[in-house]
Structure 1
Amino acid sequence: MKKTLALLAALAFATVGTSFAQTTPATAAAPMHKGKGGHGPKDPAKMADHKAGKMAKELGLNADQEAKVEQLLLARQQESAALKTKYAADKNAGRAEMKASHEKYEAQLKAILTPEQYAKFDKMKDEHHGHGKGQGGGKMKVKAKA
């Protein structure tokens, strides 16, 4: 009986010991990142370059168009960040200025792209925001009561 009890105690201590050995202390853990998807904040220039490259691939932009789009995206990110900082306390106060900034960006982008490329961009944007066909047009349908 004593042998069985001693064996169970040894087994319990061994199990508890190995479970503690597998945890990592907070200092050795991976650094915490902020931002969407667990990624840290990125450099605006890298983000603009990445998005311009993606647009070039999906819309068939030439090298000149891609460079102009990249510059436009970088300028928009910087302006957007400035507006977010300016209106951090009251987001509704800056809504009109943010909307004007967005419309200015859209007009500049439209000037860079061909009509076909812009139409494709507009379609992709709608699909990305859930307004594409087959997704309910972004509106919730409610059945009428009879």
Structure 2
Amino acid sequence: MKKIIAMLAMGLMITGAAYAQDAPKKDKKQRTEQRGERMQKQKKSPEEMAAKRTEMLTKKYDLNKSQEKKLQALNLRHAQEKHALHANRGEARDHRSARGEMQGSKARYEAELKDILNKKQYAQYEADKAAKHAKHEQKREQRKAQRGGRMQRSER
């Protein structure tokens, strides 16, 4: 009986020690590398961005050729507007007006997109957008909680 208890205790200790080991950490990129990758993404031309977005939406919402053609024109126009607004961003001192222009551009895009997609496709688009927004908010709250935890520790 003593041998069985000793064996169980030894097994529990070994199992506990195995679970206590740190998992190997993923290699994180330096911030400068991450920033460089973001800059590469932004250097795409409006035509490339429009083509990529059109292809993605066509596959995701199963658009027909007519819808794809209209969407390509809309995406190209929207990408050119965004590119122009970003190019003028340094010149604009009034952030509110620049933000208003961006929001207006987005609202026009959404209105025209609603005309292109049928009701079922647009409902799916809205659901995907809401899910993406909820996921973003959840991550934002997690980051906020982590920062709060770090600040509490530093105040001690």
Q: Give me the TM-score of the superposition, normalised by structure 2.
A: 0.57
The one-letter amino acid of 1:109's match is L
Partner of 2:113: 109
Residue 48 of structure 1 contacts residue 73 of structure 1 at CA under 8 Å; is this kept in 2?
yes
What is the percentage of aligned positions where both structures have the same residue? 31
The one-letter amino acid of 2:108's match is K
2:70 is paired with a residue of what secondary structure?
helix
Partner of 1:54: 56
Residue 46 of structure 2 contacts residue 83 of structure 2 at CA under 8 Å; is this kept in 1?
no
C-alpha RMSD over aligned residues: 3.0
Which structure 2 residues correspond to residues 15-30 of structure 1 after superposition, within 5 A?
none
Larger fraction in helix: 2
- Higher mean C-alpha displacement, 89-98 vs 103-112: 89-98
1:94 is paired with a residue of what secondary structure?
helix
The yes-or-no answer on 1:77 pairing with 2:79 is: yes
How many residues align? The count is: 108
Greater RCO (Cα-Cα under 8 Å, separation 6 or more): 2
1:126 is paired with a residue of what secondary structure?
helix
The one-letter amino acid of 2:127's match is K
Choose the corresponding residue for 1:92, options 93, 96, 107. Answer: 96
Rg larger in structure: 1
Residue 49 of structure 2 contacts residue 79 of structure 2 at CA under 8 Å; is this kept in 1?
no
Distance 1:102 1:83 in 2: 12
1:40-88 deviation per Cα after TM superposition (whole angstroms, max 9, x unaligned): 7223212211211111111010011011111111100111121222332
Distance 1:118 1:96 in 2: 24
The one-letter amino acid of 2:49's match is M
CA gap of 1:138–1:34, structure 2 versus 1, over 3 A, is closer
CA gap of 1:104–1:58, structure 2 versus 1, over 3 A, is same
Q: For structure 1, list consecutive stretches of 5 or more residues without a partner in the other structure.
A: 1-32
Partner of 1:13: none
Q: Give me the TM-score of the superposition, normalised by structure 1.
A: 0.60
Residue 74 of structure 2 contacts residue 109 of structure 2 at CA under 8 Å; is this kept in 1?
yes
